[in-house]
Every structure is written in C-alpha cells, then in structure tokens.
Amino acid sequence: MTAHRPYPLVTGPWIMRQTWSDLAFLHWSLPVEQMRALVPASLPLDTFEGEAWLGIVPFKMEYVSLRGCPNVPKLSFFPELNVRTYVKVGGKPGVYFFSLDAGNPIAVSLARRWFRLPYYHADMATHRDGNTVYYDSRRTHRGAPPAAFKAHCHATSGVEIAAPGSLEHWLTERYCLYTTDPHGAVLRGEIHHQQWPLQTGEVDIEANTLVEPLGLTLSKQPRWCHVVHTIKMVAWNLRRV
C-alpha cells in the first residue's frame, strides 16, 4: 500500500527491513531562528504554521536485517532514541537528526559509517509494564557530550490515523531522512511504511539532557505526545540529492 505517501516510492530495491516497537513521539515547538541556526544551511527548514518543531523519539528497534539476510541476535534487537527536526528538500519533507543514541555499539559503528548519521552508544533499557512503556538512556560514547533521558509513557486513546493537513500528520508522515557528506553534499535516505497507527499519550519525563549539547532548553513536558505499539518499515540506501 503506497497511496498514503506524499510522493511515489523510490525506484530500486530496498536494502534493509526493521520493526519499530513501543515508540513515543514527543514534540516541542521552537522559534524558527533558533532551529535554523542548528541545521546545515543546505537543508531548508520545514515549519508548520510558522513554528519549527523538535522531536524526541524513543523506541525499540527489532528484526533489523539486510535484504535477503536473517536476523542476527546481537545486531537485530536494541533500544534507540533520536532527537530530530524537520526539513524539506526538493519538495520532499523529511527528517534531520541531531543525534541517535542506541544500545548496541556494533550497530552504532555500522550506522555511523554507512548512513553518515550522528549515532552514539548509550546504556539503554526499554520495557513495557501493561499499558506503560519505560525508557532509560545514558550516553556512554567516547568523546561525545553527555546526554540522558528517563521517562515513562502510556496511551490514553485508541488508534487514530492522522488527517492530512493536521499537525500530527505533518510531524509523523515523513518518508525520508536527510544528512550531509563530509563535503557538505546533501544525501537522502528513503523509507517506507504504512500510515502511523497513532495513539494519544501521556508522558512523565524524569530526566532529559538530550538537547543540552545543542544549547537548547525545553519545557519538562512536550506540547505533543503520541505513542505507537509497532510498525514495520523498509529502507533504501543513501542517494545524493
């Protein structure tokens, strides 16, 4: 099913499959000029009704494998946590990552080299107790600025599909990521999945220093919180824009 996508699937075979489980979308709005200063000039910032948005997204990465390959226990299952904002290049809205913490040093090393993304190793734990999911992360990557996150989150509604034109749709229905190579060239990584099965959520954040390395200060509670039980996705290799 691809009718929900804002643009057609990229040509060529995908290279990797993943399942994301027990995911939380936590979002804060920030002044455009503040966010613009943190994103490479080659990536136009995407905004919603004049506001820029920063997201913190913790989840469990599961069943990670290359196309045609089996799962590998030490590589295919680990917790992850990313800090992101939103950009739009050539008419394609996507995600720009400030950091991605993961609880698997091998996966971190491979992702940094292959996808040119700012992955960091962290001591991480994610577990579910009934309707509540607990997240705990402390960055341990050598030479990286310290960062920690601890929270628990639960759903407060049934599953909803975001309506086109809504903030929820704008924040979540994005089918590519953007990064740059060492020479500043823009690279795009396409992904595909079904529409997000969103549930409104509530979150209690006990610790959050993830954006301190960016020089930002966030309110304790996000303006927007949704949770997702599970979703499957596939990814293509990076391509130069």
Query: Radius of gyration over alpha carbons of the chain, in Å?
Result: 17
Q: What is the pLDDT of residue 73?
A: 81
Report the distance separating Cα 167 and Cα 159, nearest Å. 16
Domains along the chain?
A: 16-236 (2.40.400.10)
Average pLDDT, integer, range 189-197: 98
Nearest C-alpha neighbor of 198 from the set 152, 155, 161, 153: 161
**CB-CB contact of 218 with 207 (8 Å):** no
Q: What is the pLDDT of residue 118?
A: 96
Encoded tokens for 67: 């196309």
The stretches of 51-163 forming alpha helices (DSSP H) are 73-76, 105-114
Report the greatest alpha carbon distance in the chain. Answer: 48
Nearest C-alpha neighbor of 149 from the set 194, 205, 104, 200: 205
pTM summary value: 0.97
The 10s digit of each residue's pLDDT in 84-140 is 999 999 999 999 999 999 999 999 999 998 889 999 999 999 999 999 999 999 999
| Cα 239 to the center of its chain, rounded Å | 19
pLDDT tops 90 at residue 72: no
Number of helical (H) and strand (E) elements in the chain, helices listed first: 4, 11
Q: What is the pLDDT of residue 74?
A: 80
pLDDT tops 90 at residue 81: yes
Q: What is the pLDDT of residue 53?
A: 99
The stretches of 15-129 forming alpha helices (DSSP H) are 32-36, 73-76, 105-114
